[in-house]
A and B are shown apart, each in its own frame.
Chain A
Amino acid sequence: MKILVCITHVPDTTSKISFTDNNTKFDSTGVQYIIGPYDDYALARAVEIKEQTGGSVTVLNVGEAETEPTIRKALAIGADEAVRINAEPTDAFFVAKQIASHAKEGGYDMILMGRESIDFNGGQVHGMVGELLGLPALSPVMKLDIEGDTAKMAREIEGGKEFIEVKMPFVAGCQEPIAEWKIPNMRGIMSARTKPLNVVDPVDSEKPTVLENYEMPPAKGDVKMIDADNVEELVDLLKNEAKVI
């Protein structure tokens, strides 16, 4: 089984978000970067499938040099080799085009990634990669088992789940509980240092969306505390002040 896992390099969930340069750039001062949490689940399932069936896991990131520690972490978790496409990932179509261009020559049985990145929250790249390659793309996939040349999946839908069968190859945008989240061990960290990380130039692609600037949501007011013995006051506030009931 030959598996491609696409990962994002994103600020840790707990990061305080702020912007600089007149709200046109993300302020990365003091921010810790991680593998996108949904991508982490995709990677964990890929490593499990490799352990069951043999084969290899290639991890791919579209990003500039600062993403390499994140890519090394993916190698430490169990990917065999890595590819970094040397470009800033500013548009979903541009990223999808880079992934599709690499995958076209790779002969992968499946292409896994997270359902969305936790910075831009678009949830578009897996579908675009599927369309560019003429492959089925399913998302958000919460269960993935391989039987022969068929993948059996469960996809989350609003208020439930849908069960799917599809022949390989395919693209999947993953989420929990598809696999047990893996933490790199010392052996993995040591071996990751010597695994190949190939840097390649991006292919030409248009960027149909252009980011103009960022905005912060309005600041939240102070919480109004209500005595536990006076729930009537809460009902009053919800009815007359918030007007939500």
Chain B
Amino acid sequence: MTMDTKNGNGRTAGRGIGLAAVRGLALALLSLPGAVLCFCLSLVSIALIPIGVGLVTTPYVLTGVRAFANGRRVLAAEWGGVRIPPAYRPLPKDANPWARTFAMLRDPATWRDLRWLPVDMTAGFVTALLPAVLFLYPLEGFALAIGLWRVFPDGYWYGFVPVSGQASAFGAAALGLVLLFLAHFFTPRLLDVHFRLTRAVLGSNQGELAERVRILTETRRDAVDASAAELRRIERDLHDGAQARLVAVGMDLGTIEALLDKDPAQAKELIAQARTSSVEALSELRELVRGIHPPVLAERGLGDAVRALALRLPVPTEVSVDLPQRAQAPVESAAYFAVSEVLTNAVKHSGADRIWVDLHQADGMLRASVTDNGKGGAVIGAGSGLAGVERRLGTFDGVLAVSSPAGGPTMVTVEIPCA
């Protein structure tokens, strides 16, 4: 946003004004037809989507709009030093026209582009043209003073000066001088205004970004806390459980070795005890593994893992699954534990005698809803299991929604992006 005119040097300043004026003129000539054309084509193309033609044309038109906007971003950076980072979402590769069209239409950056076009063809045009006018109009005043006034014998208005002879032509030149003086101050600034205006409309919203960063920081802290707590729990369980039992088995075996000849009866008793300990250690390890990564989830994926979970519940539970493909392992795991927690809650608190689980994937979202016919009144409050679920889902940009009027039924829906 600093222009080389700002460094007091007169010659550079003069060149700067001229440059700014030429650039302003170029921008004005570029922006008006370009913006009008892009805007009209976009409107027509989007309007034609319902009859199908728009589906084919829209990606091309919007790509053109992006190219136009990107051109202006480059000019803003090179001519005005104003950086406007593009924030387009990546388009799906090898997608059909339908998917491409809707991916583009869902992108907020597309709508920012479309909003920018009318601004650019009006305010943008004016702010680009003014520097040029402010520079070129005084030149006309000088030209009139030199002799151009003779071409207009019937009188001619230069600004508010009526030019009818050499004297008034000099008046025009004086006005031109004043205007040039003003241009010296305003030309680069007006161009700057143009680029700032472009950035204000075309650039992605800083507030939005700041909010996003805040949420990411928060969820990352939650994730780190949760995984640290989880590791501590696993360590403690191993240490107090399986590890201790295996040590006991080892000790028993040592004692058995010593007793084998002296007291076979007691040795036999100890062998039985050692075997019990090893069986218990195994079952503890099994529980631990189920808590870290449920075996059916690893073997079959989310659908069957939830089915297996439902079979273990004391309340009859129907599971319907519509998952075209397996999601990424962390997403599957997050969804599984969220559903598991919600189901546990339902069994413990709802008093329901039937539960329905529905898993499906649509629009890049993995959606799981758990409905029960219990007494309702569930809330995401402090200390409730649901608040914990919500926090852990946050790491995956997932959301939790609860609908639970008093008297029931309760429906808890979990949604995680999985594309």
Co-assembled chains A and B:
no
